[in-house]
Structures are given as structure tokens and as C-alpha cells.
Amino acid sequence: MKAIAINGSPRKTWNTAKLLENALAGAAENGAETELVHLYDHDFKGCVSCFACKKIGGKSYGRCAVSDGLAPILQKVSEADVLLLGTPVYFGSETGEMRSFLERLLFPFLTYTPDYASLFPGRLQIGLIYTMNIPEQYLPAFGYDKIFAATQGTLSRIFGNCELLLSTDTYQFSDYSEYLSTCFDAEAKKKRHEEVFPDDCRRAFELGAKLTADVKG
């Protein structure tokens, strides 16, 4: 059993990466072979609209035809049993790298049929993790709940499932005095990071464990 985590954050040791590491630890607890991929380490683009993945009888039907730094990652995903996606929220959405990854991952499996059926041949257990600076109570006011639900829904349509984990009101800097960030209470941020973020890490661990348990059936 294989579990792969995709880090859509440019940071390799901060909130998103830590949650993914905990999720992978939960997967490993159930015997999974694990790997963490940092998207910002790779040179790739989003979908180039070549439609090779849609060409009936074509050699790339049902898979992305673009050969770049993302191609071997997509191959690893195709061989995995569990896929964990982690991204901070930038301007109300996933990071650009994560969006590009999702385009390349999802579009080849989506068919232009009346019910937009999926070509995905198996069942991949999906975990979707968002980290964000905004407090949880403000998510509806900014429409974030609908944005998260849309991505979760698309992943569920393609793969048949998607578990969502939100980590809100996150700690952005180790020293807030070094940055223009006067709208934040630095001490409150630090306190929350010390008291609440460990629980987010626990939930991430449980998510990885649950997804691998679902694979075992």
C-alpha cells in the first residue's frame, strides 16, 4: 500500500507540510509506504489545453500527454492507494502550483459526456488539507466554505471520495515584529499555534490512518 502527499506550499517545514507529515505518519501506522512531494521543487505548468487526453483512440487518451517535471509525479499518484493534498489558501483559493497540479491530475479523467463520468480506473482514497490565516468563523463571509466544497466535490466526482481537513487562523511568522502585520495579535496567534495546531496535527494523523484503513476495507 502506498500513500503519497503533495505539498502545494512553497514552505517545506511550516503548517501545510507539518500537517501532511502527520497524515503520512498516520498512513505509515497502517503499514503504508509513504512519500512527500514538494510541488515548488518541480518545473511544470498547468493544463495546456492540448486535449490529447480526450482524443478517442489517441495514445494519451485518459492521461496527461505533457512531459515535464510533473509527469513522474502523476505517474506516482497513479500507482498510489492514498493521495493527500495540502495547500495554503492564497487570495481565496489553492496556491497556483496546486491549482496547476489539480488541472493536470483531474482533467484527463473527466469526460465530456452528459453526466461528466470519470475515466479513473480504480479507487484512490483522497485527503484534502487546507491551511489559512483566516479564523474559522469568517469562512462563510468570504465564501471560503463554498470554494473548499467545490474542490472537494470535483475530487469526489473523479475519484469517488474526498475527506476535508481545515486548519484555520494559522501562525504565519516566527516573529511578527519583523513584518508589517499590525492587524494581527501576535501573542494570540502564537498561543493558538501552541494550543490548537497540535490538535490539527492529530486530526491529520487520524486522516492518514483512516484513508489507509479504508484501502484495507
Mean pLDDT of 90-112: 96
Mean pLDDT of 121-140: 94
CA distances from residue 128 to 72, 135, 153 in whole angstroms, order as listed: 21, 18, 11
User: Which grid cell sits at 102?
Assistant: 489539480
Predicted local confidence at residue 204, as pLDDT: 98
Mean pLDDT of 194-208: 97
pLDDT over 90 (residue 173):
no
Percentage of the chain exceeding pLDDT 90: 88
Whole-model pTM? 0.94
Cα–Cα distance for residue pair 90/191, rounded to 1 Å? 23
**Is the Cβ–Cβ distance between 69 and 193 less than 8 Å?**
no
Mean pLDDT of 52-81: 95
Mean pLDDT of 201-215: 95
Predicted local confidence at residue 175, as pLDDT: 87
Cα–Cα distance for residue pair 139/154, rounded to 1 Å? 20
Percentage of the chain exceeding pLDDT 70: 100
69 — pLDDT class (breaks 50, 70, 90): very high
List the one residue out of 179, 97, 102 whose CA is nearest residue 133.
179
Domains of the chain, earliest start first: 2-216 (3.40.50.360)
